[in-house]
Amino acid sequence: MANVAVVGAQWGDEGKGKIVDWLSERADIVVRFQGGHNAGHTLVIDGVTYKLSLLPSGIVRPGKLSIIGNGVVIDPWALASEIDKLSAQGVEVTRDNLRIAGNATLILPLHRDLDQLRETAAGTAKIGTTGRGIGPAYEDKVGRRAIRVNDLADFRTIGPKVERLLAHHNALRRGLGQPEIDARSLIDQLAEIAPHVLAYSDAVWSLLDEARRDGKRILFEGAQGILLDIDHGTYPYVTSSNTVAGQAASGSGLGPSAIGYVLGIAKAYTTRVGSGPFPTEQDNEIGETIGARGREFGTVTGRKRRCGWFDSVLVRQAIKTSGIHGIALTKLDVLDGLETIKVAVGYRLDGQELARLPAAEEAQARVEPIYETLEGWRESTAGARSWADLPAQAIKYVKYLEELIECPVALLSTSPERDDTILVTDPFAD
């Protein structure tokens, strides 16, 4: 059976949590492969709401193994807190259902401090990060000075590693007018939290290779969205990791041949959190209406999301750069009752029409969307579980989007409840 990678096809917040949960019932293993605890997933199961930010969505499903891969940056204190919250909801987290890559990078308090200091200093030019230290942790990973999960296993050798890390960070802190960090204090903090992480540490790549050879179904769960990819997103207003499907391989330790199907998640409209270009944004009554109906507030930060019409140019571009085979279209019900619905089919820039988003930051900020207007539908799509339950105009809208993005809709989600899903193509099928 095919292993499946799930990625966001917009700027994140597309409803991946529900779709991954829906698919996880068919999988044996669920793997997080990038990002950190800056991205949240909300799951609604049997009326109970679970809010996850670092743990894979499969953790709430009995009998499933959840894995945090080497491509993820891990705040061990946030991880311990999230495990405690799940335990309070009756979800037991043990080594039997959670493993963490020993070569994954740790997010430390100094990363969080630096993230917030930089955003404050940037003023109106800020990127719009969550301030959780994800970016600085990835910087240290690339700079080869990071502390990794495996380093917590031997405190006889951690001293020089911490000194190397602080040689960099204390210089930055002096420049920002902040006090230096004491190495002994940091080591003591790490020693205290170490057992909470090492309990789950493993050679994840080897574990996954064995599972693949045994015919286990593996579900790779992405965070954020392709338009936030460090290479292919709206740079510099992006996250600090690769969010495209190719990262599922390098962020878990399995080769790309292990991934058989890539499922992209896209809302029936568009949202974005934080700064950066947003060609179809509706900073008006329409945007407010969509935001209110869709409850568009961040799972992790609570920040209000910017809302706008569906942008077929960006979704099509995401599909190409991530090798997406099918789209799971979510939140169609949010558009119920609108008299007309607009879809961006292209852009104008300096008098020229474009079929893609330019790479330059300045050009991205100036593109103007070219819209097609479609008739809306009065009937409700909420809770629909078959095409026969959908209004004719809603079906027409979905089919039109398929044509524009050059990719089929494999699943259609019509509410946060996991069973309110129309399956067109099973991603796990051969």
Task: Give catalytic residues, as residue numbers.
Answer: 13, 41
* 38 phi and psi angles, rounded to 5 deg: -90, -10
Structure tokens at 221: 């769960």
Burial pattern 282-319, b for ≥16 Cβ within 10 A else e, equals: beeebbebbbebbebebebbeeebbbbbbbbbbbbbbb
Q: Name the E strands within 186-241.
A: 201-202, 218-221
- 84: CB partners within 8 A, 6+ apart: none
Cα gap 73→424, rounded to integer Å: 35
Q: Long-range contacts of range 154-161, CB-CB < 8 Å, 24 or more positions apart?
A: 155/187, 155/190, 155/191, 155/194, 158/187, 158/190, 159/183, 159/187
Q: Quick one: which of 140, 135, 136, 147 has its CA closest to 191?
A: 147
Residue 144 contacts by C-beta under 8 Å, 6 or more apart in sequence? none
In the block, which residue shows the tokens 């068919």? Answer: 26
Distance CA 77, CA 21 (A): 25
Within its chain, how far is the Cα of 296 from the centroid?
Answer: 15
Q: Give the phi and the psi of residue 278 in degrees, each rounded to 5.
A: -155, 85
